[in-house]
Amino acid sequence: MDKFYTLANDGIHEPTTPVHHRDDEYPEDGFTTLWAMQERHFWYRGRHRFLLHALDRHRPRRSGPVAAVDLGGG
């Protein structure tokens, strides 16, 4: 792919430099609030419908359940 990612045996591109997680910078109770907001807010509901429709449209028929990770982009 490029110098920043390598292709792992499972077919997933991984960063060549490990990602430093900063969990200590985020209060745990904030995730509960964020999750509740994303379940109700029109923006997230529409975004989730769009993404699920796109996955359904582009994956092979009868391929089983879809597993995906949303890494976020900002």
Q: Which of 18, 21, 12, 16 is CA-nearest to residue 67?
A: 12
Cα–Cα distances in angstroms (integers) from residue 36 to residues 7, 11, 30, 44, in the given order: 35, 33, 10, 11
User: How far, in Å, CA of 59 to CA of 57, rounded?
Assistant: 6
- What is the pLDDT, as a whole number, of residue 66? 63
Residue 23 has pLDDT above 80, yes or no: no
Q: Which of 72, 74, 32, 35 is CA-nearest to residue 51?
A: 72
User: How far, in Å, CA of 17 to CA of 19, rounded?
Assistant: 6
- Tens of pLDDT, residues 33-60: 888 888 899 998 998 899 888 878 877 7
* Domain spans of the chain, in order of start: 5-57
- What is the pLDDT, as a whole number, of residue 46? 92
Q: Label residue 70 by pLDDT band (50, 70, 90).
A: low
Average pLDDT in the 9-38 region?
83
